[in-house]
Amino acid sequence: MKDINIVIEICGSAGEGTISAGEILSRFMSSQGFEIMSFDSYPAEIRGFGKCVAHTRISANPIYSPGKLSDVLIALNDKHSISQLFALKENGILIYDSQPARPHKEDESVVGWAKPGMISYGIPLNMLAHKAAGNARGMNMVALGALAALFHVDKLAFTDSIKARYSKKKQIVIDSNVNSFLEGYDWAKKNIKKIDHHSLKGISLGRAKEKLIINGNQLVAQAALDANLSFYAGYPITPATKIMEILSKELPKHGGTLLQTEDEISAIGAVIGAGFGGKRAMTATSGPGFALMTEFTGLSVMAEVPAVIINSQRGGPSTGIPTKTEQSDFNSAVSGGTGDCPRIVLAPTDTKSCYEATVLALYLAEKYQTLVVLLLDFFLSNSIRNIDIPQKPSAEMLDANIAPDKEDLKDYQRYKITETGISPRAVPGTKGGMFFSTGLEHDEYGRPNYDDANHLKMTQKRYKKFNTVLLEAPAPEISVKDKETFDIGVISWGSSAGAAHEAAMTAQKEGINASSFSTMMVSPFPEKDLIEFADKCKKILIPELNFSGQFANFVTHILKRPVERLNFITGRPMASEDILQKMREM
């Protein structure tokens, strides 16, 4: 079977159906059994006509990263697409409107800027859309039709995906979209002399078993519902808003409560309040909101109240770049806030693991009575994958609170020093379970106590709880295990892990002896595993999406040896191609 691995970008202006077209393309390719990874970028401004790009990677094999350069660029808007040509491969395909509504002035047409090795197919998108539906709205579908014809795909199967996308719309909307698609398909079939090598003809992967086409935010929301989330409080912020949007509809159906607060400080306050009351509670935000929440995070740790914060990172600092991805909140997530403030930080490494990480976050917060930060980023929040339906959490994961027994309640010490550091937690209303709860340093009963010996004892207790957390987390992922030594070891976290994994595997094929290490558990960090891996590697490379190398600094502190760094703040997800190139140079 051919090794299908294609990246397609659709570029248009907001309102031109760019994102919808990308969604339909993903849905169709998934229905044909392909792996997909798609990612949209759009303007930060709510109003206006900014640039939108729907990026989709399609493969017959597992996908770990979105692909840096595209094989196909569909230009729905010339102005925006000119600035997107940089991401089209030197021999890539450009599909553009050959008969726009208005003539172009010199240099205003995207095809005019295509590089000499690129292949351009002019399709009268605007004209055909008008022919099909009487207006230009169907240009996106005409373009998809042309793409389907060029790639020799089953047009009827494709129209099924269009119908599914618009199934809740009126019939006229479905018909006009399908007709526009067919116009583009038939026109391209008849008029285009195909000179590229791409074809899906005869590629049979069998009908895919039922898969979820879903992004990270949707998975987080689904996982939270499946993990018995009872309370959510939040304030909308890109790129985390979608989580609240979904939960606002779904949480009440599950008997839960959602509260939109006036700001992020209130949100985390409400979450801690609900956690104190014995409810599974969480909030979701981004960097600027997380900064505000820092005011309250210490209370969760000090009062040992379960709380989960999802921080979907975006370009920072401050308001920064709301619709671009970055991994620059590592430091603030792991060590932000006041005092010695241990917390659990999880960072899913791909879309699929967003589900597992969310279930784990709610479980760990409850069991360890502490703050859990779940670090997503714009890419993980928004990238869409087709995945197997996740297994629902086990009963054990749904009820993790260590409640006081009768003996404990005889003389209840909410912050009793135990072997594990975890004290039995009584929720309000527990008979005999009354206690003081405060952000002040306190003794085992919860009474304020500023004695230096007590402060040391209670600080030790709060850290001691974390000794067993690592046993609860999935083991670190190592791409190549069956060798004693490696020339290069790539250590990564979060959304960069997929690209690092792919780069290491490609490097092996190129003859570079490399492996990769990544972990969902960022704090506490699996230092022993890290050191064991690093000891096998002659050189260490740490790629991440921030300027200062926050994770590299953290790892260097553990390994006590120099590492190579690869840092980007382009706003785009990590590309395996860039990591591989760096490995070649090392």
Partner 1 sequence: MMPDNDHYVIIGNGPAGNHAAATLRQKDKDAKITIISDECIPYYYKPKLTDFIADKIVKEDLLVNPLDSYEIKNIRVRCGQAVDRIDPDSKTLFLQHMEKIKYSKLIIASGSNARVLPSMSSYADHLKFVTSYADVMEVKDEIQKAKDFFIFGGDLVGFKFLRMLSSMDNNVSILIYPDAFWPYHLTAGMMAQIIENLSKLNADIIVDDDILSIDEQNGSYRLTTQKGIEKTVDMVFSFNGLIPNIEFAKGSGIDIDHGILVDEYLKTNVSSIYACGSCAQIYNRTIKSYSTSIGWPNAVAQGEAAALNLLGDHKVIESVSKKYFDLEGVKIKTSWWEDIDKDSDA
Residues in the site for partner 1, rule: CB under 8 A?
Answer: 90, 96-100, 102-106, 108-109, 111-112, 114-122, 193-196
406 is written with which tokens? 């009768």
Structure tokens at 565: 């760094």
196 or 472: CB nearest partner 1: 196
Distance of closest approach, residue 196 Cβ to partner 1, in angstroms? 8
| Shortest reach from residue 188's CB to partner 1, in Å | 14
CA–CA gap between residue 162 and residue 467 (Å, rounded)? 52
Task: Retrieve residue 422's tokens.
Answer: 């975890």
Minimum CB–partner distance for residue 122 and partner 1 (Å): 5
393 cis-preceded (ω within 30 degrees of 0): no
Distance CA 294, CA 332 (A): 9
Distance in angstroms (rounded) separating the CA atoms of residues 340 and 370: 13
Q: Which is nearer to partner 1, 102 or 170 (CB)?
A: 102
Minimum CB distance to partner 1 smaller for 147 or for 522: 147
Backbone angles phi, psi at 346, to 5 degrees: -115, 145
Residue 371: enclosing H or E segment and its boundaries? strand 371-377
Kindly state the smallest distance separating residue 580's Cβ from partner 1, in Å.
22
Tell me how far apart the alpha carbons of residues 272 and 257 are, in angstroms, rounded to a whole number.
14
Q: Going by C-beta distance under 8 Å and a sequence separation of 6 or more, which residues neighbour residue 273?
A: none
**Closer CB to partner 1, residue 131 or residue 447?**
131
The residue among 142 and 542 lying less far from partner 1, judged by its C-beta, is 142
Non-local (6+) Cβ contacts of 249 within 8 A are none
CB of 126 to partner 1, least distance (A): 10
Nearer to partner 1, 116 or 511 (CB): 116
Which pair of structure tokens corresponds to residue 107? 């240099």
Query: 304: Cβ–Cβ under 8 A, 6 or more apart, which residues?
Result: 369, 370, 414, 415, 423, 425, 462
Paired with 348 in beta bridges are none
E strand map for 239-325: 257-260, 281-285, 307-313
CA–centroid distance for 153 within its chain: 30
Helices (H), 230-284: 241-250, 264-276
Largest CA-CA distance found in the chain, in angstroms, rounded: 86
Least Cβ distance, residue 121 to partner 1 (angstroms): 8
Q: HSE, CB side, 13 Å, CA atoms: give it for residue 67.
A: 24
In whole angstroms, give the CA distance from residue 308 to residue 364: 9
Nearest-Å Rg of the Cα atoms of the chain is 26
Residue 59: CB minimum distance to partner 1, A: 23
Q: How far is the CB of 54 from partner 1 (least distance, A)?
A: 23
Q: Considering the complex, what minimum distance in angstroms separates the CB of residue 512 from partner 1?
A: 25
Q: Please report, for residues 8, 141, 157, 330, 584, the alpha-carbon distance to residue 123 in angstroms, rounded to integers and kept in the order given.
A: 17, 12, 22, 46, 40
Which residue, 38 or 77, is less far from partner 1 as judged by CB? 77
Bond preceding residue 239 cis, omega within 30 of 0: yes
Cβ nearer to partner 1, comparing 125 with 345: 125
Q: Distance between CA 469 and CA 584 in Å, rounded? A: 37
**Minimum CB separation from partner 1 for residue 396, in Å?**
57
Cis before 317 (ω within 30): yes
Nearer to partner 1, 100 or 336 (CB): 100
Within its chain, how far is the Cα of 306 from the centroid? 24
CA distances from 109 to 79, 104, 106, 171 (A): 7, 6, 7, 35
Nearest to 200 by CA among 74, 64, 25: 25
| Closer residue to partner 1, CB minimum distance, 102 or 410 | 102
For residue 31, the minimal CB distance to partner 1 (Å) is 26
Q: What is the C-alpha to C-alpha distance for residues 120 and 102, in angstroms, rounded to an integer?
A: 20
- Provide, rounded to whole angstroms, the least separation between the CB of residue 10 and partner 1: 19
Q: How far is the CB of 96 from partner 1 (least distance, A)?
A: 7
Q: Which is nearer to partner 1, 30 or 126 (CB)?
A: 126
Take residue 454 and report the two structure tokens written for it: 């007590």
Nearer to partner 1, 120 or 454 (CB): 120
The owner of tokens 């072997």 is 419
C-beta of 68: minimal distance to partner 1 in Å? 19
Torsion of CA 260, 265, 269, 275, to 10 degrees: 80
The distance of closest approach from Cβ of residue 89 to partner 1 in the complex, given in angstroms and rounded to an integer, is: 12
- Measured from the CB atom, the residue of 25 and 87 that comes closer to partner 1 is 87
Of 110 and 267, which CB lies nearer to partner 1 in the complex structure?
110
Do the beta carbons of residue 123 and residue 92 sit within 8 Å?
A: no
User: Is the Cβ of residue 120 or residue 335 nearer to partner 1 in the bound state?
Assistant: 120
